[in-house]
Amino acid sequence: MTPILEVKSLSKTFGSVTAAADINVSVKVGERVGLIGTNGAGKTTFVNMVTGYIKPDRGTILLQGRDITGQSPRYITRAGVCRSFQIPQLFLGLTAEENLVVAIGIATGRALAPHASPDAPDTRGAVEDLLSRFRLGEYRHRVVSELPGGVRKLLDIAVAVTRKPKLLLLDEPTSGVASEQKFALMDIVMEALPDDVTVLFVEHDMDIVSRYSDRVLAFYDGRIISDAHPSVVLSDPQVKSYITGAAN
């Protein structure tokens, strides 16, 4: 089966900083992949290149065999790749429900149509489905600026999912969320996504990485220094010494 994502020789520098150095990765449909690495290791740069927010200096990015290298975020989103950001990108003055209505309007191309209405039966159905899958029902009428960080994170991911992605990239879905709430948040996200949606998520908490990924990519200085099952990556001496700080 063609990999959902294939990245070959991907490189990017910012001045004298090497943010990506010859990255090669092939991801199968449905894999749940954790991206780890210290601050500045190149995780977000990788996500930005795959989603079109940054153009690589060199290399190729294939989505199901189709070359998407250097395409715009809009093009790549339409091709089936969605993302969330380290800081949620939501309309702070709108309610949770209104944010979903707007996102669905944009995703379905109806936002600008004169007959667009949040009460259209299919929009309403899609909103209810997302509120339920992401356990956001009780927050539906609250404005985003008043919502707790974890709920904003869930809403931001629900917004990304309005486009029914094949490949979803989550940049630190649990950052800013209290440690005792991180597992609950990830349980909701993973249960909300169909099995054939491939997920790459950036994460600093190794307990979360171990629990929710079936494969881990360890970034260090713009390179992938380990790529394997979490138990293998997290016991790798280089990963322990450069990234997790775990005792050898």
Ligand X SMILES: Nc1ncnc2c1ncn2[C@@H]1O[C@H](COP(=O)(O)OP(=O)(O)OP(=O)(O)O)[C@@H](O)[C@H]1O
173 binds ligand X (CB under 6 A): no
45 binds ligand X (CB under 6 A): yes
- Going across the sheet that includes 66-67, the strands are 17-27, 5-14, 58-63, 66-67
Greatest distance between any 2 Cα atoms in the chain? 63
Q: Is 161 left (phi over 0), alpha (psi -120 to 50) or beta?
A: alpha
Options 10, 44, 50, 97; binder of Mg ion; rule CB under 5 A: 44
In the region spanning residues 207 to 236, those forming contacts with ligand X, defined by CB under 6 A, are 219
C-beta of 37 vs 80, nearer to Mg ion: 37
Please give the span between the terminal C-alpha atoms of the chain, in angstroms, as a whole number: 38
Options 39, 93, 115, 231; binder of ligand X; rule CB under 6 A: 39
87 binds ligand X (CB under 6 A): no
Collapsed DSSP state (helix, strand, coil) of residue 240: helix
Measured distance CA(144)–CA(134) in Å, rounded = 15
Which of these ranges, 11-19, 99-107, 128-136, 240-248, lies near ligand X under the rule CB under 6 A? 11-19
19 binds ligand X (CB under 6 A): yes
Which of these ranges, 13-21, 92-100, 131-139, 240-248, lies near ligand X under the rule CB under 6 A? 13-21
Measured distance CA(46)–CA(218) in Å, rounded = 12
Concatenating the DSSP letter of every residue in 118-136 gives: TTSHHHHHHHHHHHHHTT-
- Out of Mg ion, ligand X, none, what residue 87 binds, judged by CB under 5 to 8 A for its kind, is none
Residue 63 is given by DSSP the state E
Least CB distance to ligand X at residue 208 (A): 14
Determine the length of the chain. Answer: 248
As given in the structure block, the two tokens for residue 210 are 């171990």
Measured distance CA(149)–CA(185) in Å, rounded = 11
Residue 244 is given by DSSP the state I
C-beta of 96 vs 217, nearer to ligand X: 217
Options 40, 125, 176, 237; binder of ligand X; rule CB under 6 A: 40
Options 34, 42, 105, 173; binder of ligand X; rule CB under 6 A: 42
Least CB distance to ligand X at residue 238 (A): 16
Which of these ranges, 33-41, 63-71, 132-140, 225-233, lies near ligand X under the rule CB under 6 A? 33-41
| Residues at the interface with ligand X (CB under 6 A) | 14, 17, 19, 37, 39-45, 219
| Residues at the interface with Mg ion (CB under 5 A) | 43-44
